C-alpha cells in the first residue's frame, strides 16, 4: 500500500494530525515523534467507526470496508494491538495490573 492510499484511509477515519494544523494525519507523520499518540488516535477512530461514529457519519459493516482499510486493520492495527496486549498481561507493570483477585465495585 502506498502513502497516498494510507493517507486516504487516515482521512476517511478522521484521524487528526497533532502538528497544530488540525488537518488530517498523514502516513509520513507515523515515522515522527508521538507515534504512540497517533496510533491511539487511529485505534480510537476505528473504534468509533465500528460502533457508529455519529460525528463523521462513518460506520463500518463487513460490506463497507475498503481493501486499503481492511489491510491497515489486519496488517497493522490488529497485530500491533495483539503485541501490546500480550506485553501488558505478560509483564508486571503499573498500567494494567491488579494485586487482588477481587474488585470492590461499591461499598
Q: Read off the C-alpha cell for 18.
A: 497533532
Determine contact, residues 72/6, Cβ cutoff 8 Å. yes
> pLDDT value at position 81?
92
pLDDT in tens, 5-24: 888 888 887 787 777 677 77
> pLDDT value at position 5?
84
Q: Is 16 helix (H, G, I), strand (E, B) or coil?
A: strand
In a domain, 98, yes or no: no
Q: State the chain's mean pLDDT as an integer.
A: 78
In a domain, 79, yes or no: yes
In a domain, 14, yes or no: yes
In a domain, 37, yes or no: yes
- The position carrying cell 494491538 is 81
> Per-residue pLDDT for 54 more than 80?
no
> pLDDT value at position 56?
53
In a domain, 16, yes or no: yes
Instruction: Provide the domain count of the chain.
Output: 1
Provide the b/e sequence for 10-24 (b: ≥16 CB within 10 Å): bebbbbbeeeeeeeb
The whole domain housing 19 covers 3-90
In a domain, 107, yes or no: no
> pLDDT value at position 27?
81
CA distance linking residue 107 with residue 105, whole number of Å: 7
In a domain, 76, yes or no: yes
pLDDT in tens, 64-84: 677 888 888 888 889 999 998
> pLDDT value at position 59?
60
User: Hey, how many other C-beta atoms are within 10 angstroms of the C-beta on 58?
Assistant: 17
In a domain, 105, yes or no: no
Amino acid at each position: 500500500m502506498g502513502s497516498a492510499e494510507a493517507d486516504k484511509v487516515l482521512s476517511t477515519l478522521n484521524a487528526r494530525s497533532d502538528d497544530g494544523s488540525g488537518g488530517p494525519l498523514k502516513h509520513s507523520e507515523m515515522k515522527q515523534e508521538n507515534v504512540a499518540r497517533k496510533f491511539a488516535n487511529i485505534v480510537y477512530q476505528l473504534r468509533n467507526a465500528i460502533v457508529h461514529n455519529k460525528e463523521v457519519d462513518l460506520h463500518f459493516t463487513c460490506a463497507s470496508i475498503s481493501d486499503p482499510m481492511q489491510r491497515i486493520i489486519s496488517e497493522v492495527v490488529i497485530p500491533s494491538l495483539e503485541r501490546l496486549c500480550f506485553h501488558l498481561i505478560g509483564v508486571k507493570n503499573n498500567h494494567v495490573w491488579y494485586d487482588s483477585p477481587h474488585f470492590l465495585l461499591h461499598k
